[in-house]
Amino acid sequence: MDTKETVLNVLQDLTGSDLSDDLDDNLFENGLLDSMGTVQLLLQLQSELGIEVPVSEFERSEWDTPNKIIANTEEMLK
CATH numbers and ranges of domains, the chain: 3-76 (1.10.1200.10)
Residue 61 has pLDDT above 90, yes or no: yes
Find the mean pLDDT for residues 15-39. Answer: 95
Distances (CA, A) of 73 to 9, 36, 78: 14, 19, 9
Q: Which position has the higher pLDDT, 26 or 55?
A: 26
Residue 4 has pLDDT above 80, yes or no: yes
pTM attached to this predicted model:
0.92
Residue 1 has pLDDT above 90, yes or no: no
Sign of CA pseudo-dihedral 31, 36, 42, 45: negative
